[in-house]
A and B are shown apart, each in its own frame.
Chain A
Amino acid sequence: MQITVTVNGIEHTRDVEPRLLLVHFLRDSLELTGTHWGCDTSNCGACVIWLDGAPAKSCTVLAVMADGRAVRTVEGLETAAGLDPIQQAFSDKHGLQCGFCTPGMMMTCRALLDENPDPSEHEIREAISGQICRCTGYENIVRSVKAAAAVESGAMQSSAAQQGVTA
């Protein structure tokens, strides 16, 4: 059947089997291979993307269920303005090693920061608790999120200060 999914702001229309998993639609049909898969049971979170603005495990969503909906993937984090602060922070704080869980982790952490700009360590750990990383022991992922939060709060303050000056 034909579906239309908006991925990273661009509409894509494809003919798919109803059973096609969203992760395969992204990877195989759209060649967006930044979204990975690591298990079959929605336990590992390597496949996390945003579905209508909320993190979801794309190995456990059918592509047809995303018909008419909006998806954001790791490829949609960087903009013309540059890397998303969460991307920069993962590199700065060594929040990744093999890089396989990283896209899913960053998608979840981006969503966390959008909702909670200053999360505690516990809140960060809870947010990523459905995602497995075998390399980092999570420590530097937590530090990455804190660093991104600090950068963003600094950016907000400076932009607020600027507005104050012009106002």
Chain B
Amino acid sequence: MQVPAQFEYERATSVEHAIALLQRHGPESRVVAGGHSLIPMMKLRIANPETLIDINDLDELTTIRLEGGELRLGAMVRHAALLDSAVVGEHFAIFHDAERVIADPVVRNRGTVGGSLCQADPSEDLSAAFTAVGAVAVIQGPDGTREVPVREFHTGPYQTVVGDAELLVEIRVPIRPGGGSAYVKVERRVGDWSVTAAGAALWLDGETVTDVGIGLTAVGAEHFAAPEAEQYLRGRPATEESYAEAGRLAAEHCNPTADQRGPVDYKRHLAGELTVRALRRATARARGEAIEGA
């Protein structure tokens, strides 16, 4: 069996302690939450941290709550908890859609929301979902906290704005009335990473799209977003024609690469197709319509 190289282990007892440990151990230290991305990489010896800082005791980061007109998710909220949360489902069905297709139920018991965002895998699902809903990441460092829109959180594949001595502590999602959201993914098999996926959050005033967010997974979309499609849709009627054009724009402006999950043309096609499907589904939800399979 593959096994990790040697490292030191520290267990943080509070957010402040975790940050102090990060400061003490420097850039060769890594935070471990669920560990389901990091530990396999350590076994392959692609990741070789000198120190691992375990934040699984930080219960203060496991809450899901409504506050200040926002849905606030602690960074240590497990995928399973997000999926189980009725309040999450009530306000942002997109997260339940996404969580149902992230890895598998056992992995979801361990993996965390914050861990997924910080791993910043281009095929990871929550980044696009948070992008669609306009979420904000709360990052804490030695000098206090700062807020970064999720659309500015990723600086490239596997890279984020979180500094060496910083910790992602919370994700905040503004709640606005009149909206609906959805996430649609194509995978080669249950539990696989996305071939392509699209998330949409959309707000209606009558039959008009007043605002929309579109997130794209695994197609090289900058910040997981489809701004051209979003811009096109704002103020337009919530119709198939509008969505088709939005899908076309999303497909046109993403930048997929070929791999064993599919060739470029297929992924680009999916970016459009799934954008349309996510918009359709989000619209139905905004209108309070029942959705098949939801």
Q: Is B one of A's binding partners?
A: yes
Compute how far the CA of A17 lies from the CA of B4 in the bound complex, rounded to whole angstroms.
11
B1 within 8 A of A: yes
Stretch of B35-43, B89-97, B148-156, B230-238 that contacts chain A: B35-43
Quick check: is B6 within 8 A (CB to CB) of the other chain? yes
Taking the complex as formed, is A21 at the interface, i.e. its CB lies under 8 A from any CB of chain B? yes
A59 touches B1 (CB 8 A): yes
CB-based contact A130/B105 at 8 Å: yes
The answer to whether A18 touches B9 (Cβ under 8 A) is: yes
**CB neighbors of B among A120-139 (8 A):** 126-127, 129-131
User: Does A57 lie within 8 Å of B110, measured CB to CB?
Assistant: yes
Most chain B CB within a 10 A radius of its CB, from A17, A56, A65, A126: A65
**Is A79 an interface residue, CB under 8 A from the partner?**
no
Given A55-B109, A126-B105, A129-B104; A60-B35 close (CB under 8 Å): yes
Complex Cα distance, B102 from A7, in Å, reads 29
Task: Verify if A147 is at the interface (C-beta below 8 Å from B).
Answer: no
Interface residues on B, range: 20 to 34
CA distance in complex: A54, B80 (Å): 10
Q: Enumerate chain A residues within 8 angstroms of B9, measured Cβ to Cβ.
A: 1, 18, 62, 64
Contact: B52 with A18, CB < 8 Å? yes
* 0/1 interface trace, chain B 6-40, chain A, CB 8 Å (1 if under): 11110100000000000000000000100110011
**How far in angstroms is the closest Cβ of chain B from A50?**
9
Asked, given contacts A65-B54, A129-B105, whether A60 binds B40 with beta carbons under 8 Å apart, the answer is: yes
Most buried by A among B11, B40, B190: B40
Judge whether A40 is part of the interface by a CB distance below 8 angstroms: yes
Q: At the interface, yes or no: B107 with Cβ under 8 Å from chain A? A: yes
Q: Within 8 Å of chain A (Cβ to Cβ): is B2? A: yes
Looking at the complex, which one of A41, A43, A65 makes contact with B32 (CB distance below 8 Å)? A65
A25 interface residue per 8 A CB criterion: no
> In chain B between 226 and 273, which residues have their CB closer than 8 angstroms to a CB of chain A?
none
B39 to chain A: closest CB distance in Å?
5
Which chain B residues border A60 with CB–CB below 8 Å? 35-36, 39-40, 110
**Residues in B whose Cβ lies below 8 Å from that of A126:** 105
CB distance from B236 to the nearest CB of A (A): 37
- Please state if A18 and B6 are interface contacts (CB–CB under 8 Å): yes
Q: List 9 A-B contacts (CB under 8 A).
A: A17-B6, A18-B52, A23-B1, A37-B1, A62-B52, A65-B54, A108-B105, A126-B105, A129-B104
Closest 4 CB pairs of A and B: A130-B104, A18-B9, A40-B2, A54-B109
Partner of A129, one of B7, B35, B52, B190: B190
- A77 contacts partner chain B, Cβ-Cβ < 8 Å: no
A89 → chain B, closest Cβ, in Å? 20
Q: Residue on A with the closest CB to B6? A: A19
Determine if B103 is an interface residue (Cβ-Cβ < 8 Å): yes
Complex alpha-carbon distance, A54 and B56, angstroms: 14
Pick from B1, B4, B11: contact of A19, CB under 8 Å: B4
Given A18-B7, A41-B40, A62-B106 contact (CB < 8 Å): no
Contacts known (A17-B6, A40-B1); A108 close to B35, Cβ less than 8 A? no
* Contact of A57 with B7 in the complex, beta carbons under 8 Å: no
Contact between A62 and B8, CB atoms less than 8 A apart: no
Contact B106–A65 (Cβ < 8 Å): no
Contact B110 A56 (CB under 8 A): yes
Confirm or deny: A32 has a beta carbon within 8 angstroms of a beta carbon on chain B.
no
Residues of B within 8 A of A17 (CB): 6
Q: Does B5 contact A (CB under 8 A)?
A: yes
Query: Does A61 make an interface contact (CB < 8 A)?
Result: yes
Question: A45 contacts the other chain (Cβ, under 8 Å)?
Answer: yes
Contacts of A89-114 to chain B: CB distance below 8 A = 108
Contact A42 B40 (CB under 8 A): yes
A62 to B5, CA, bound (A): 12
Q: Are A19 and B3 in contact (CB under 8 A)?
A: yes
* Beta-carbon nearest neighbor of A69 in chain B: B56
- Inter-subunit contact B11/A67 (CB<8 Å): yes
- Complex: A123 Cα to B103 Cα, angstroms: 16
B110 contacts which chain A residues (CB < 8 A)?
51, 56-57, 60-61
B288 at the interface (CB under 8 A from A): no
